[in-house]
Amino acid sequence: MTIKVITGMAGGGKSTVLDSFEDMGFYCIDNLPPTLLQEFIALYERMSEGPNNLAVCMDLRLGVFFGEVLSTVEKLREMGYDVEILFVEASDRVLLNRFREVRRAHPLEEAGRTSEAISLERRLLSEIKTSADQVIDTSKFNKYQLKKKITSLYDPGSHFRIILESFGMKNGMLEEADFVFDLRFLPNPYYVEELSHLTGHDEEVREYVMDSSVSKEVYEKLVAFLDICVEQFQKTGRDTIHIGLGCTGGRHRSVTFSLLLHDHFVQQGYTVIRQDREQL
């Protein structure tokens, strides 16, 4: 079993790191007392049918139990578990600004002295920071960049995904997409007798839709726009972009465009998931 113990400064980004591991398939727990960790691992190994990966956040909120973190880690390593300690921190100035922005008090703060609380926490965490396998300074990261950093370190094989979904607007709007494009103004094969019963999966339909100069121009401009969006989504740490393509029934024009965009992004090396909401 692989176990990641996440600790560090309040406001340093521990929650974002824990969320990142959860996205990578780890079973995640926030602030489990060290005395219960070994017992939980035994239970988890008996009950779990999934991957044996565990991420646990342990920090000074544990109070008196926090002093047992290092000894617990050592015991688990002696038992043959792969345990790594990740320590996240940021500069005093950045931490102070973060607490001001969220308008929350530092866990160790008394009488509004946030700076003093940060200094005290640094002293209390000095030993575990020295023992950490990985120390990450998040001063220059937003939460998306931090997530991207963790993913690059621990799941470098993961891929950014593009989801392309065709749908029929007469059946309701697609609510979960990042972008939705209405293609109802393009030539409609539904009104062509020999094409009406076919779908965008048929070559004859795609040829009819794309024979229009308007369709060609829209497709070219849509590709140019989405190329920029995909690149920027990746840079901000997002792992998915969901693109909706709608027409009246979700069978002809929307499917045609989703298939063309699928081929375009696959050729660029992206992982693409294509689906038709109307289940053609």
- Dump pLDDT digits (tens) for 11-67: 999 999 999 999 888 999 998 899 899 899 988 888 866 557 899 999 998 888 899
Q: What are phi and psi of 212, to 5 degrees?
A: -80, 135
Average confidence (pLDDT) over 152-157: 75
* 253/199 Cα distance (integer angstroms): 8
Query: The whole model's pTM is what?
Result: 0.64
**Same domain (yes/no): 14, 135:** yes
Please give the pLDDT value at position 217: 98
DSSP letters for 107-144: TT--TT-HHHHHHHHHHHTHHHHHH-SEEEE-TT--HH
**Same domain (yes/no): 150, 165:** no
Q: How many domains does the chain have?
A: 2
Please give the pLDDT value at position 51: 58
Check whether 157 has a pLDDT greater than 60. no
Please give the pLDDT value at position 172: 92
Count CA atoms closer than 13 A to 12's CA, side-chain side: 26
**Same domain (yes/no): 231, 263:** yes
Q: What are the distances in angstroms from CA 102 to CA 11, 96, 97, 98, 186?
A: 10, 10, 9, 6, 47
**Same domain (yes/no): 246, 117:** no
Q: Are 167 and 244 in contact (CB under 8 A)?
A: yes
The last residue of one of the domains, among 139, 154, 169, is 154
* 64/66 Cα distance (integer angstroms): 6
**Same domain (yes/no): 150, 236:** no
**Same domain (yes/no): 19, 113:** yes
The last residue of one of the domains, among 154, 180, 203, is 154
Among 250, 60, 54, 233, which Cα is nearest to 147's? Answer: 233
**Same domain (yes/no): 147, 27:** yes
Q: What are the distances in angstroms from CA 42 to CA 1, 38, 198, 258?
A: 11, 6, 56, 47
Average confidence (pLDDT) over 156-183: 88
**Same domain (yes/no): 109, 128:** yes
Please provide the distance, in angstroms rounded to a whole number, between the alpha carbons at the two ends of the chain: 43
List b or e across 199-211, with b for residues whose CB sees 16 or more CB atoms inside 10 angstroms: bbebeebbebbbe
Range of the domain at 32: 2-154
Q: How confident is the model at residue 94 (pLDDT cuts 50, 70, 90)?
A: very high
* 33/71 Cα distance (integer angstroms): 12
Write down the mean pLDDT value for the chain: 91
The last residue of one of the domains, among 154, 178, 197, is 154
Q: How confident is the model at residue 72 (pLDDT cuts 50, 70, 90)?
A: very high
**Same domain (yes/no): 84, 204:** no
Q: What's the CATH number where 77 sits? A: 3.40.50.300
**Same domain (yes/no): 143, 254:** no
